Amino acid sequence: MTGNAASRLRGGLLPSVRSTDNMTYVELTWIEKKIEFWIRFGREAHVEILDRRRRVVSFRPNSIFAFVRWAANDFGTVMSRIDIVRAVEPGEAYQTLPFVRPGGEILLKIEGWPKVEAVLHHIDAVERAGIDACDVAPDHWRHVAHRMRAGETPRAYTVERHQAWLKRRGTGR
């Protein structure tokens, strides 16, 4: 097995997307009812289609995106996970996660379909309020993760909270 083939088996990106630029790359796979990796929200800077089942999307630094991974076998679901990630600047510390290169700041990490589904409903509620989920305060996604791990319901992200975040971000605090 070549080094390239071995890295793909470990979840590495293909050589065409390995570079020294400042983008964060996410490898997506879609094999109906077997492996379904997709982006729930995020502003993609570029998409590279590898074949009919795989593509690589890239995000600019400080972009926030939700990466959903689901896999099943003949007996049912074997993995469900959602990660909400902030793409990092070059030289900034980051956490690694499968299929994301180089990695990012993980704002939310939830596993298990009932909890993943609850996060998806929370994202839907944010969007119903007229707020782009990409623009939500990073602290809110951390709040959602902490509340769900504690078995509690997260607070709603309201237009008022969002306006406060935008003002805070504008002043650099």
Q: Residue-wise pLDDT tens for the chain (173 aa)? A: 333 433 444 455 554 445 558 999 999 999 999 999 999 999 999 999 999 999 999 999 999 999 999 999 999 999 999 999 999 999 999 999 999 999 999 999 999 999 999 999 999 999 999 999 999 999 999 999 999 999 999 999 999 999 999 999 886 55
In a domain, residue 67? The reply is: yes
DSSP string across 27-89: EEEEETTTEEEEEEE---SEEEE-SSSEEEEEE-TT-EEEEEEEEEETTEEEEEEEEEEEPPP
In a domain, residue 102? The reply is: yes
In a domain, residue 154? The reply is: yes
**Residue range(s) defining the domain that contains residue 122:** 24-171
The total of structural domains in the chain comes to 1
